[in-house]
Amino acid sequence: MKKKALVTGASGGIGSEIARCLDRDGFEVLLHYNRAREHAAGLSDELGGAPFFRADFENPSEIESMFSEIDEAHGGVDLLVNNAGLAYYGLLTDMKPEDWRRLFAVNVDGAYHCCRLAIPNMVRRKSGKIINIASVWGLCGASCETAYSAAKSALIGFTKALAKELGPSGITVNCVAPGVIMTGMLDSLADEEIDSLRTQTPLGVLGKPSDVAELVSFLASDKAGFITGQVISPNGGFVIS
């Protein structure tokens, strides 16, 4: 029987590539989306009819409904990839309180609710994997991305603590913190800003969604069975620690 993997934010650039890699690896992939139904449906078709579910992560009841559907139809998941995310670029003093709350609701609270609902089935089976997608900004911070940096840093701390909590149940929890990846999240940046980020990257290139997805593929595999509580950053040398 195929293991089941839920990828949140699967309609985005990184999420869709993660879904493709996990499908290639033999998982039964379940797709989450919020607004981009057309993209989710197209990815579903590409993956041979993969089930897809809508939930707005600002609304916990919608996450609970999604997991109820998944539990009833698929018996829970063996792998949870918390990839759904929201960015904000601008001065902190210009950021409205409701934007701050929304960013944390999607990036942090969403991961909490998904983990809370996925973990019981994993504990019963004494196996499972959780992979949280953070950001290099969660490691080093970024000017004009204070809220995003704070949220991703919270997700990193969440990962480390949850790994200790779930280790005795045979569940691994790891975090992937990508560097600058060429996705739609860069659309708000000017060409000179993107060139500057490329120059700051020792390898001289920006990352591709597949650079993140292949790392997730490894962490989801049996080869990574002894790895938990770790933060791995595919960033081309942008941050070396």
Indicate which CATH number applies to the domain containing 17.
3.40.50.720
Write the DSSP string, 18-41. Answer: HHHHHHHTT-EEEEEESS-HHHHH
Note whether residue 48 is domain-resident: yes
Note whether residue 95 is domain-resident: yes
Answer whether residue 189 shows pLDDT above 80: no
Collect all residues with Cβ–Cβ distance below 8 Å to 6 and sequence separation of at least 6.
Answer: 30, 32, 70, 77, 79, 80, 81, 114, 118
236: region left, alpha or beta (phi > 0 left; psi from -120 to 50 alpha): left
Position 187 confidence tier, pLDDT thresholds 50, 70, 90: confident
Note whether residue 199 is domain-resident: yes
Note whether residue 241 is domain-resident: no
Note whether residue 57 is domain-resident: yes
Q: Model pTM?
A: 0.96
Number of domains in the chain: 1
DSSP state of 106: I
Note whether residue 238 is domain-resident: no
Backbone angles phi, psi at 35, to 5 degrees: -100, -30
Domain that holds residue 168: 4-232
Position 167 confidence tier, pLDDT thresholds 50, 70, 90: very high
Candidates 105, 119, 153, 107; CA nearest to 8 is: 107
Please confirm, yes or no, whether 148 is among the known catalytic residues.
yes
Position 18 confidence tier, pLDDT thresholds 50, 70, 90: very high
pLDDT of residue 223: 98
Answer whether residue 58 shows pLDDT above 90: yes
Spatial contact of 121 and 171, defined as CB atoms under 8 Å apart: no
Note whether residue 171 is domain-resident: yes
Q: How far apart, in Å, do the first and last CA atoms of the chain sit?
A: 40
Note whether residue 240 is domain-resident: no
Answer whether residue 183 shows pLDDT above 90: no
Answer whether residue 143 shows pLDDT above 90: yes
- Measured N-to-C along each axis, helices 13-24 and 37-46 cross at an angle, to the nearest 10 degrees, of 20
Collect all residues with Cβ–Cβ distance below 8 Å to 14 and sequence separation of at least 6.
Answer: 83, 133, 178, 181, 183, 209, 212, 213
